[in-house]
Chain A
């Protein structure tokens, strides 16, 4: 379910390092919690993010949720496809439903994130 080469945050974002940048999205758990996603407010490329900074908003029919950056760095690209097809976040949260690419500023920040098995354990804890 949760890819082994991803990092995960407690806010239920995933992050995949790809050379100098990292792709960020929300996890399958998060999209299930939200329900049908109908709108994603994306940041402008060039925006500088701090760890845990809110950089966008995901709206389902019922709820509005902030999206937080798991690392610091500059937004280099956003998933423009979400403008027309926000449902990709539900249908394919770990791939086509990606949200932004961030240029990694400080690799040591990755150490604060969870591995797939740690994240799965974290989710089990939430269900108790």
Chain B
């Protein structure tokens, strides 16, 4: 199994580990509920070095990215990151990702750990005709996420980077505790925070310094368990659960991600057609009305007809109830619509609710 450069730091901190697509990653340290609330109320530090990093460079790097992704990468500059996706000609997801502009004609795609090899092959298979070079640099990058209302205060004394001027999705380069890194105001928790990337061989120095600085603020190291419950409350998609090669960008409610006017791109025609005809099903957030916890793959019924399955489903530590995401026929997606979920043979009542389930108060 692969380990990140921070493995021994996790071990020392008493992490419980789990295998995650070939990586030995911390699932929890002190307990998922405690870690979850630490991020909502104070701050949490995540090791997400298992994420994949693919670099596309060359004369036509921008053209190539424009072709592969539905968002408009021409709007990127050295100080801005962008959420986007790799999509199929059918308008479905190969993966979702972040795009960074690293340098002139050089872009970085940050992709899901589970998909790194698949994405790399997908990108190579479309390379022909573009003057570009594609490199999988995943093993060189360490990525950490510092998230929560106290994230800014914790990071500030450790870096010269002017964090204050960084708005959402802003990117800055510099060093943290003397270690060269770049930082974006992004995350996967629904809280304010930063994602930190470094190629340095000693990223532990950064990890330790942040933990030390964060002590006074109640900062905790956070495992993949709470990462999943945090992102679900914020209705951030998880590839493999909520989006995959069978769900289109429009069905997943991400019309905003598709910039039809930017020119041709993979999936454009299919998505344009679907936009005009309208989607037949759409992703919705739900909560259980009755007792129980709806988990991924549990069957979803409207009256006596099985229409779907639970995609993401978990106990929400913040709301103390069962929440999740599923796809429903559009005529049943209105807020308040009731349907049922089969939990171990028992039909359990659920209700469509507005998402994101959790939205932080602004101006924190």
A-B contact pairs, 10 of them (CB 8 A): A35-B28, A35-B32, A36-B31, A38-B293, A38-B315, A41-B291, A59-B293, A59-B315, A60-B32, A61-B225
Note all chain B residues with C-beta closer than 8 A to A119. none
- Mark A residues whose CB is within 8 Å of B: 35-36, 38-39, 41, 57, 59-62, 64
Identify whether the interface residues of A are mostly helix, strand, loop, or mixed: strand
Q: Could you say which of B27, B33, B317 has the most chain A C-beta atoms within 10 Å of its C-beta?
A: B33
Chain B positions 10-27 with a Cβ under 8 Å from a chain A Cβ: 16, 27
Note all chain B residues with C-beta closer than 8 A to A35. 16, 28, 31-32, 225
Contact flags (1/0) for B34-72 with A, using CB distance below 8 Å?
A: 100000000000000000000000000000000000000
Q: Could you say which of B292, B314, B315 has the most chain A C-beta atoms within 10 Å of its C-beta?
A: B315
Q: In this assembly, does B82 line the interface, its C-beta being within 8 Å of a C-beta of chain A?
A: no
Q: Tell me how many residues of B have a C-beta within 8 Å of chain A.
A: 17
Closest 10 CB pairs of A and B: A61-B32, A38-B315, A36-B33, A36-B31, A59-B293, A61-B315, A36-B32, A39-B293, A62-B225, A35-B32
Note all chain B residues with C-beta closer than 8 A to A57. 344
Note all chain B residues with C-beta closer than 8 A to A62. 27, 32, 225
How many angstroms between the C-alpha atoms of A28 and B299 in the bound complex?
33
Q: In this assembly, does B295 line the interface, its C-beta being within 8 Å of a C-beta of chain A?
A: yes
Note all chain A residues with C-beta closer than 8 A to B225. 35, 61-62
Is the beta-carbon distance between A61 and B229 smaller than 8 angstroms? yes
Note all chain A residues with C-beta closer than 8 A to B34. 36
Note all chain A residues with C-beta closer than 8 A to B293. 38-39, 59, 64
- Min CB distance, A28 to chain B, in Å? 15
Is the beta-carbon distance between A41 and B32 smaller than 8 angstroms? no
Is the beta-carbon distance between B291 and A39 smaller than 8 angstroms? yes
- Min CB distance, B298 to chain A, in Å? 10
How many angstroms between the C-alpha atoms of A18 and B32 in the bound complex?
35
- Min CB distance, B171 to chain A, in Å? 33
How many angstroms between the C-alpha atoms of A59 and B313 in the bound complex?
13
Instruction: Identify the closest chain A residue to B317 (Cβ).
Output: A61
Note all chain A residues with C-beta closer than 8 A to B292. 39, 41
Instruction: Identify the closest chain A residue to B225 (Cβ).
Output: A62
Q: Could you say which of A38, A59, A61 has the most chain B C-beta atoms within 10 Å of its C-beta?
A: A61
